[in-house]
Structure 1
C-alpha cells in the first residue's frame, strides 16, 4: 500500500482522501483507484466472509479490462457489480504478486482515464510516450 500511495500521489494533480481508513485516489474530483468497503458481491470463497481488502482500479475500456482479467496469476478479478464498468479489482495481499513497475503502469493507466487531456498529454510527453488514451 505504501508503493500505491507513493505512485498515485506522484501523478500530477492526484489527491488522496481517506474514509474509515480506506484511501481513494482521485484527480479533478474523479476517482481512479480506491479501497472499497466490504460488499456482498465479493466474498472469500473459503469463509463466505465479505472481502474487506479490495482495491478498484479504473481501466481505459472493456478490452483492457478483459486483457487484465486474463492474467494467469489470477490476482485481478471482477464481480457482477462491476459488469459493464471499466474497472478491475485486486485484493491488497495480492499487491505482493505484482512488481512495482506493473503497479505503476496500473495506477498511471487508471489516472489517465480521469485526468484532463492537456495534463495527460504533458505527462505522457515527459515520460517519452506520444499517445494519449
Structure 2
C-alpha cells in the first residue's frame, strides 16, 4: 500500500522536480510540466465508473502516448484505470492504496521521463536510448 509520502519521496528524488499544485491539487513537475498529481474523482467520474469506483486515493501519471496508455491499462488492470475525461489524454489513474512499491517507482520514473525536457534528461545523463 503506497502513500503520498512515498510518491513525494520518489518524485522529488528525480532531477529538477518541483512540487506544486494543479487545479488545487498537489502535483510534481519537471521543466514546468506536471508528470504526477493527486486526482480526486468528481461526481461525473464516479458515475462513469459505476461499481468500479476505487475506495482510496487516486494518483494520475503521464504516459508515453495512447499506445503506452493502452499497454499499461492491459498490463496492470487491478491498479491502473482510466475515465472518459481522460479519453485522448496520455495519462492513467492509479489506485494508490493498491499499487506496490516497485510499480509505483516505475510509474513515477516513467512519467518523469515522458515529461522531462530533453535538456534536463541530457544534463542528468538520462537521455533516450
The TM-score range, normalised by the shorter chain, is 0.7 to 0.9
Q: Once superposed, what is the RMSD of the aligned Cα atoms? A: 2.8
1:110 corresponds in structure 2 to 111
Which of the pair has the greater relative contact order for Cα pairs under 8 Å at 6+ separation?
Answer: 2
Residues 37, 52 of structure 1: 8 Å contact kept: no
User: Where does structure 1 differ by over 6 angstroms across 4 or more consecutive aligned residues?
Assistant: 48-52
2:88 corresponds in structure 1 to 84
Deviations 1:40-98 (A, max 9, x none): 3432745x989772210000111111111012552100000001011010122123xx2
Verify: 1:38 aligned to 2:59, yes or no.
no
Residues 41, 79 of structure 1: 8 Å contact kept: no
Q: Say if 1:56 and 1:49 are closer, same or farther in 2 by CA, change over 3 A.
A: closer
Q: Say if 1:34 and 1:103 are closer, same or farther in 2 by CA, change over 3 A.
A: same
> Which protein is richer in helix relative to its size?
2
The normalised TM-score by structure 2 is 0.79
In 2, the alpha carbon distance for the partners of 1:85 and 1:115 equals: 17
- The count of aligned residue pairs is 124
Q: Say if 1:124 and 1:106 are closer, same or farther in 2 by CA, change over 3 A.
A: farther
In 2, the alpha carbon distance for the partners of 1:22 and 1:121 equals: 30
1:123 corresponds in structure 2 to 124
Residues 19, 27 of structure 2: 8 Å contact kept: yes
Structure 1 gap segments, 5+ residues each: 126-130
In 1, the alpha carbon distance for the partners of 2:105 and 2:9 equals: 10
Range moving further from structure 2, 114-123 or 4-13:
114-123
